[in-house]
Amino acid sequence: MQMLDITINGEKLQTSVDPRMSLADFLREHADARSVHLGCEHGVCGACTIIIDGKIARSCIALAIALDGAEIWTLEGLRDDPVIEQLRASFHECHGLQCGYCTPGMLITARDIISRYGTPTESVLREALAGNICRCTGYAGIVKAVQHAAERLAEQADTTTDGGVLAAGV
Ligand code: FES
Ligand code: FES
């Protein structure tokens, strides 16, 4: 076992960890982050997508011990994030999910896409979402939901004076 200092969803955590434990298992077992889903466990499906030091990453192919000193965000820590709130509403409205297994990873990736592209075209969006696999929806509802969310957020940003809702800081 080795000592690990890590910040998860704004909370500092110091604990001992098996050096072979993946970050995904660590988040689920030590931080109760059950939104971190495990699909392929090979870095392919995107179900385990989280944010490490401001960038999205796959937690199944990272070792927890390698993230000593890192700041991690999972969907649990983004409940009040305005982009995630809008994405949730849009996924609901546009039928962007069925079983929901891929959805946490989709939401985190979609948030990242919106923060980088604002209102992406469908082809940009499909390419940027290509690393997140959904077994249920056929993607049409997901693409529609992300476009819907991006448009609503852009409209809201136009009506604010502080530069809008994308400056969520995570
Ligand atoms: S479970 Fe991590 S990418 Fe599939
Ligand atoms: S909604 Fe079932 S895997 Fe995407």
Percent of the chain with pLDDT over 70: 94
Question: Given this model, what pLDDT does residue 167 score?
Answer: 44
**pLDDT per residue as tens digits for the range 79-88:** 999 999 999 9
CATH superfamily of the 2-77 domain:
Beta-grasp domain (3.10.20.30)
Interhelix angle 82-93/140-158, nearest 10 degrees: 130
Answer yes or no: is the C-beta of 138 below 6 A from any ligand 2 atom.
no
pLDDT digits over 9-19, tens only? 999 999 999 99
* CATH architecture observed for domain 80-158: Orthogonal Bundle (1.10)
pLDDT value of residue 160: 67
Is the CB–ligand 2 distance for residue 132 below 6 Å?
no
> What pLDDT does 86 receive?
98
Domain ranges of the chain: 2-77, 80-158
pTM of the model: 0.93
Residue 4's pLDDT is what?
A: 97
Distance CA 63, CA 59 (A): 8
Q: Which atom of ligand 1 is nearest to the CA of 37?
A: 1
Using one digit for the tens of pLDDT, what is the confidence trace for 27-59? 999 999 999 999 999 999 999 999 999 999 999
Mutate which of 95, 102, 146 to test ligand 2's pocket (most atoms within 8 Å of Cβ)?
A: 102
Q: List, as one string, the DSSP characters of 19-40.
A: TT-BHHHHHHHHS--TT---SS
Please give the pLDDT value at position 170: 67
How large a percentage of the chain has pLDDT more than 90? 92
Q: What is the mean pLDDT of residues 63-80?
A: 97
The average confidence (pLDDT) of the chain is 94
Atom number in ligand 1 closest to CA 61: 2
In angstroms, the CA 169 to CA 78 distance is 11
DSSP string of 68-81, one letter each residue: TT-EEE-GGGGTT-
**Distance from the CA of 67 to the center of ligand 1, in angstroms?**
17
102 touches ligand 2 (CB under 6 Å): yes
Distance 46 CA to ligand 1 centre (A): 5
Query: In this model, does residue 161 exceed pLDDT 60?
Result: no
